[in-house]
Structure 1
Amino acid sequence: MTAEVKKILTFSKDTPDDVVNKAKEKIKASGGVVTNETKLGGRMIMYTISKDTITTFSTDSEFNKHFVADEFDGVVTTQ
């Protein structure tokens, strides 16, 4: 089994539901699993996906108008 990574996909607050739903479909079609979704501080989808899968939300014209970030989920520390 291929190792998975946890990621957070963030869209702007005004992103329409159909764009978010298409992103969730794209995640699932790529073998990923949507684990959570929130609208706090923007629209965010938390998901897991194979570490070998390349995501293209930032360059996909369907999403990039609303796209803010696609980043790894994890513990953040400061000194």
Structure 2
Amino acid sequence: MNLHDLIQKIDRQRKEQPIPPILGINEIARLIRVDHRTVRKAIKAGELPALRVGRDFRILRQDLSAWLRRMQAGQV
């Protein structure tokens, strides 16, 4: 299997598995392919709203979508 086929396979899997309504930091990092520290930094800066659950954070899917749209528009 070449790299192109592998990328297509991953894309198909993403389409088949919808994003859950609540995500953890590591899930978001994997989903958008960034380091988990990038997500933590956005939470700490107040750019990405998050709910504190014990020692970890949970992010609502709609908050993640809004944050990504702001990033795309250059507002973050």
* TM-score under structure 1 length normalisation: 0.28
Q: Rg bigger for which structure?
A: 2
- Larger RCO: Structure 1 or Structure 2 (Cα < 8 Å, ≥ 6 residues apart)? 1
* Greater helix share, structure number: 2
